[in-house]
Structure 1
Amino acid sequence: MNIKALEWNFAKGICSLGGCDTEKVSFTSRAEAIKEAERLTKEGLEPEVGYPCPSCMQDYYA
């Protein structure tokens, strides 16, 4: 598989209203992103369900 991307991301948080990805962490290479994701997984950390994202909050309160 040959994928070219400008950046690689994963989410460390989840919106409590819509389940959107929040607290995105960006890396310049796939290898860096995988290494950090593996480190967090080994430490037992999972994405945290936190505050609503601005987009969902606007839809919810509109």
Structure 2
Amino acid sequence: MTREPLAGTGRPLLERAQDAGEARADVTFDDVLFLVNGVSGANFVQEAQRDRVLAMALDGIKAHE
């Protein structure tokens, strides 16, 4: 699978979230791809652990007041 279909959908989504103040302005789409790759490639012991790590990752993307 090439990156372009994913970027064609994901990049505008991130930009809309940034424009709405929901995502940090300093996050790039490539940053999100690395983050997703890291979380999805990990071998979690429990589903709850996966959910906690994903929540931490998403908190890192969210804009903070």
Q: Under a length normalisation based on structure 2, what TM-score does the superposition of the two structures give?
A: 0.33
Answer 1 or 2: which has greater strand percent: 1
Q: Under a length normalisation based on structure 1, what TM-score does the superposition of the two structures give?
A: 0.35
Answer 1 or 2: which has greater helix percent: 2
